[in-house]
Amino acid sequence: MTAAHAADATAEISLEGGQATGRGAGGPAPVRVYVGYGFWIFILSDMVMFSAFFAAYAVLEGATAGGPGGRQLFDLTNVAWETACLLLSSFACGLASLAAASRNALWFHVAMAATFVLGAVFVGLELKEFAGLAAAGDGPQRSAFLSAFFTLVGCHGLHVTAGLLWLLTMMAQVLAKGFRADILRRILCFTLFWHALDIIWVAIFTVVYLMGKTP
Amino acid sequence: MSETHDAPRGELDLAPGEERPDAHGLAQGVRGYLVGLALAAGLTAASFYFCFSGLIYGPAVPAALVALAVAQMGVHLVFFLHLTTGPDNTNNALALAFGVLIVTLVIGGSLWIMANLNHNMLPMAQIMQMQR
């Protein structure tokens, strides 16, 4: 049986039985599906790692060792700008995935460039906040609370920085190789990663910044 | 495993983050992201607003913030990651459910245990006294 026949048979099984492969019938999944699925598992394990940092932060939030707490340190205007940048960046990333799906290289690069600029502004704002805290003597060594804060928020910032490098790699690969099937899979994984980082940021601005500031 | 093994896409599983191809169309895709952006922005704005407005009874503010955050995560999952409850998404949704279970256990369990330990521990001043 040739590959084409096998594919036809697969399609027929799922049509006749009304069964999709999510329930186990229909043969091996396409590469696109298991590559994306594997990366989805990685993202979920990354979220489990973040949950450990969140737990540590929540436990240590009050352990300020006589130093300043979140209420004195956090600047919500800065956080609002960071949030806006990351959300718009996520949106631009979605547009880039649409451009890739319709094989439009120009719009793909425009949207990815917008994603990069917004993500870079986010990292810049976060670095500014960190530098300000460290300069005022409120670095990670000041208290258990600040250690947990820098670990959690810094870990997210590192993820975003790594994502920015990945983003540039994807732009370069599309330039050099075009929308090949393997490149499209990498773009899919990148968009998953970028949207997941925004989900983690939602948890951070809620738990760390807003709850830290509530009177 | 070559690409020729791909059967018609609509009949198979969707990769995470993928939209149903029949619901595609560029305009519809863009509209989906716009709706997601508007909802997420609205929920974010509500979070920042309720934090200080005093509209919500003070002690209930954290619960309201958590509810808004969970809602916004849902918006991101549906409109940006295209996660559905359809049979073509079962594997992705089940993996997510398992992730949520572990995250809940780690965070909830840590807070529970540490609250108990704190509750049963002598106040710091007394410990210092005993060490003297």
CA distance A11 to A52: 43
Q: Which residues of A touch B3 (CB under 8 A)?
A: 30-31, 181
> Considering only A12-16, A42-46, A198-202, which range has the smallest mean pLDDT?
A12-16
The amino acid occupying position B43 is L
Mean pLDDT of chain A: 89
A-B C-beta contacts closer than 8 Å: 188
Does residue B20 carry a pLDDT above 90? no
Alpha-carbon distance of A22 to A32, in angstroms, equals 14
Query: A94-126 burial, b if ≥16 CB within 10 A, otherwise e?
Result: bbbbbbbbeebeebbeebbebbbebbbbbbebb
Neighbours of A33 (CB within 10 A): 24
Q: Helix or strand or coil: residue A140?
A: coil
| pLDDT at site B129 | 82
Task: Give yes or no for residue A96 having a pLDDT over 70.
Answer: yes
In this prediction, the answer to ipTM > 0.90 reads: no
pLDDT of amino acid B86: 83
The 3-state secondary structure of A148-176, one letter per residue: HHHHHHHHHHHHHHHHHHHHHHHHHHHHH
pLDDT band at A8 (very low <50, low <70, confident <90, very high): very low
Set of chain A residues whose Cβ sits within 8 Å of the Cβ of B88:
20-22
pLDDT band at B9 (very low <50, low <70, confident <90, very high): very low
CA distance A43 to A192: 8
pLDDT of residue B16: 85
pLDDT in tens, A150-166: 999 999 999 999 999 99
- Contact B11/A at CB under 8 A: yes
Of B3, B65, B103, the CB nearest to A47: B103
Scanning the structure block, which residue is given the tokens 């973040």?
A50
pLDDT of A147 higher than 60: yes
What integer pLDDT is reported at residue B57 of this predicted model? 87
CA distance A13 to A24: 12
Q: Can you say whether the dihedral through the CA atoms of A35, A36, A40, A46 is positive or negative?
A: positive
In this predicted structure, the answer to whether residue A43 has a pLDDT above a threshold of 80 is yes
Nearest Cα neighbor of B36 from B97, B82, B80 is: B80
Evaluate whether B87 touches A22 at the Cβ level (below 8 Å).
yes
Residue B25 confidence (pLDDT)? 78
* Of B120 and A94, more confident: A94
Residue A118 to residues A112, A114, A122, Cα–Cα distance (Å): 10, 6, 6
- pLDDT exceeds 70 at position A57: yes
Q: Which residues of A touch B31 (CB under 8 A)?
A: none
Which residue stretches of A20-179 are H helix? 31-60, 70-73, 76-101, 105-135, 144-177
Chain B interface includes A95 (CB < 8 A): yes
CB A35 within 8 A of CB A185: yes
Q: What is the pLDDT of residue B12?
A: 63
Q: Is the pLDDT of residue A60 over 90?
A: yes
Cross-chain residue pair A32–B6, CB shorter than 8 Å = yes
pLDDT band at A178 (very low <50, low <70, confident <90, very high): very high
A1 pLDDT more than 50: no
pLDDT of residue B4 exceeding 60, the answer is no
How far is the CA of B77 from the CAs of A26, A60, A213, B128, in angstroms? Answer: 27, 30, 27, 49
Q: What is the pLDDT of residue A27?
A: 66
Residues near A36 by beta carbon (within 8 Å), at least 6 away in sequence: A185, A188, A189, A192, B15, B16, B17, B18
The answer to whether residue B66 neighbours chain A at the CB level (below 8 Å) is yes
Instruction: Give dist(CA A74, CA A81) in Å, integer.
Output: 13
